[in-house]
Amino acid sequence: TYVVTDNCIRCKFMDCVEVCPVDCFYEGENMLVINPSECIDCGVCEPECPAEAILPDTENGLEKWLELNTKFSAEW
């Protein structure tokens, strides 16, 4: 899955939401999040993010962000 990280906080761009083929972006507190169980790992959103906030969860140190994406996307 892909994960939205701190660069997204207070970002006003929605480019990622528009390109996601499965509509798995949700609004968290001050930022967008990706629902890990809906994300199909296509990678389309990563280069579209002007804030470079979206990363694959295979990168190190993203556990906290993955948890937060999971938590906020589950509230919908």
Q: Looking at 44, 57, 62, 70, which residue binds ligand SF4 (CB under 6 A)?
A: 44
Question: Beta strand 32-34 with 2-4: parallel, antiparallel or unpaired?
Answer: unpaired
Told to check if 3 binds ligand SF4 by CB under 6 A, we report no
Q: Looking at 3, 11, 24, 51, which residue binds ligand SF4 (CB under 6 A)?
A: 24
Class of residue 12 by CB neighbours under 10 A (exposed 0-12, middle 13-18, buried 19+): exposed
Told to check if 43 binds ligand SF4 by CB under 6 A, we report yes
In the complex, the smallest distance separating the C-beta of residue 39 from ligand SF4, rounded to whole angstroms, is 3
Task: Report helix, strand or coil for 68.
Answer: helix
